[in-house]
Amino acid sequence: MKRLFKTLLAIVIVIVVIIISAVAIVSVRMSGQVKAFDKSGIDLSHVADGVYNGHSETDLVKVDVQVTVADGRIEDR
């Protein structure tokens, strides 16, 4: 019985270590992807009126956006 308990405990520990490692790897990778995003501001007074589409993605998140610019302002998103 003791041997079975030790074996099961070892298996659980290995699984937990694998899960923690996977989460850490994904977290580091996602952090790098987010840091790579262009976060610079845009002077909308130089943007022609119209509808603009944008797309961005990381390993876990994909985003599509659409904004309407009119008179140097975002009118709709």
pLDDT of residue 37: 81
Q: How far apart are CA 6 and CA 29, in angstroms?
A: 35
Q: How far apart are CA 66 and CA 4, in angstroms?
A: 58
The answer to whether 69 touches 52, Cβ cutoff 8 Å, is yes
Same domain (yes/no): 31, 51 = no
Same domain membership, residue 67 and residue 53: yes
DSSP for residue 55? E
Tens of each residue's pLDDT in the chain, 77 residues: 899 999 999 999 999 999 999 999 999 988 888 888 877 888 888 899 999 999 988 888 899 999 999 998 888 65
pLDDT for 13: 97
Among the listed residues 25, 38, 28, 34, the one whose alpha carbon sits nearest the alpha carbon of residue 61: 34
Q: Quote the domain boundaries for residue 59.
A: 41-77
In this prediction, residue 60 carries a pLDDT of 82
Place of tokens 């790098």: 32
- The total number of structural domains in the chain stands at 2
- Name the token pair of 23: 């989460």
**Both 3 and 26 in a single domain?**
yes
- Is the domain of 5 the same as that of 26? yes
